[in-house]
Amino acid sequence: MDAYLLDWVNLLLRWAHVIVAIAWIGSTWLTGFALFTVLYLYQASTFLIDKSVHAWSPAAAIAAALGFLVVFWFVYDAICRMFGQRSSGDRVVGALVAGFVVVASWLACQLFAGRAAFLLVGAMMATAMSANVFFWIIPGQRKVMAQMKAGLAVDPVHGQRAKQRSVHNTYFTLPVLVAMLSNHYGFLYAAPNNWLVLALLMLAGALIRHAFVARHKALVQARRVPWEYAAGGVFALLVVVVWLAPVAQSRSVQSAQAAQVKAVSFAEVRAVVAQRCVMCHNEQLASKNLQLHTPALIAQHAQQVYQQAVVLKLMPLNNARRSPMPSARCSGAGSRRALRRTERIDMVSWFDRPRSRSH
């Protein structure tokens, strides 16, 4: 539980850190996000696809991921064009765009590995932010300048449109950042209904952003500063904190379970590692510089293996499994659990008997 809260502190601090950094550095950060996407697309079968979420070919997954970026922009842009200039258009546009982001988050989490889905939703909004700058904000300013130079009356619509898009960009910033950062936290993206986790985090970001905007306005107009929005954002975060808190099942309960099942031999654990880990952790391909293809290596890295596979449930990455899988062992296939119950109990029982760790 302590470790869980520490993870939250870690995430919230990072988020604050990046927000502060951006406030000072300016707006050239957008290109960075494209790089992330490229990484994921390039290694699609490892990072983009989780077969227990949706089993499809890398080519189809890549095409769909790119589709998210493009379709989001066109739909968002159409919403702004259609409703933006009407009376109370800002509210209608805000509600429709927020709803569309939630739908996109849901869909991304049905199609892609959780980690990739969170990143993709962030990238999708960041793409719209850049497109706003290039297709509306800068051209709008140019038109105004040209009209002024030519001594013509300035058409206010260009300024209005540019303003609308830059307001959207400020509201997108915090949700984009938390979507990108949260993809480093397995307990968020691996949660059941992870799309709702993402939606709540982004909602918190938008509300907190709105609190700053409202505070500024209130100060300028010498009114009471409305703190309800910030409180709402914090509440959304608390909902996620409480919702995802680990059920208090201590190691001793787990090991009692394991003891009931059987004492596990090292050979059995080695078999699990061979099937679920070695394909990405061997001499040729040592992900994160970790090799697990010999008994000595497994014993040497026992603590890390236990931490990643049993406690954090982050490994095997995206529930990878070496095919073909023995039919007798596929009872849990299709579940989103990283390791199946039997495999995990094997690991717990192995780790809890230090003398069995290496032989």
In this structure, what token pair is assigned to residue 230?
A: 């910030």
Instruction: Output 165 or 344, the one with its CB closest to ligand HEC.
Output: 344
Q: Is the separation of the CB atoms in 153 and 147 below 8 Å?
A: yes
Instruction: Output 47 or 172, the one with its CB closest to ligand HEC.
Output: 47
Question: Beta-carbon neighbour count of residue 180 at 10 Å?
Answer: 21
Instruction: Output 158 or 281, the one with its CB closest to ligand HEC.
Output: 281
Instruction: Output 86 or 288, the one with its CB closest to ligand HEC.
Output: 288
Rounded least distance, CB 270 to ligand HEC, Å: 12
In this structure, what token pair is assigned to residue 318?
A: 């995206």
Instruction: Output 214 or 290, the one with its CB closest to ligand HEC.
Output: 290
Residue that has been written with the tokens 């209130």 in this structure? 218
Rounded least distance, CB 194 to ligand HEC, Å: 17
Rounded least distance, CB 305 to ligand HEC, Å: 4
Instruction: Output 114 or 140, the one with its CB closest to ligand HEC.
Output: 114
Rounded least distance, CB 2 to ligand HEC, Å: 19
Instruction: Output 123 or 320, the one with its CB closest to ligand HEC.
Output: 320
- By CB atoms closer than 10 A (0-12, 13-18, 19+), residue 96 is middle
Instruction: Output 168 or 340, the one with its CB closest to ligand HEC.
Output: 340
Rounded least distance, CB 306 to ligand HEC, Å: 8
Q: How far apart are CA 50 and CA 319, in angstroms?
A: 6
Which residue, 17, 9, 29, 256, is CA-closest to 122?
A: 29
Rounded least distance, CB 121 to ligand HEC, Å: 19
Q: Which residues bind ligand HEC (CB under 6 A)?
A: 46, 276-277, 279-281, 287-288, 290, 304-305, 308-309, 315-317, 320
Rounded least distance, CB 323 to ligand HEC, Å: 12
Rounded least distance, CB 18 to ligand HEC, Å: 18
Instruction: Output 202 or 305, the one with its CB closest to ligand HEC.
Output: 305
Q: Is the separation of the CB atoms in 281 and 46 below 8 Å?
A: no
**Angle 309-273-246 (CA atoms, 0-180°, nearest 5)?**
15
Rounded least distance, CB 52 to ligand HEC, Å: 13
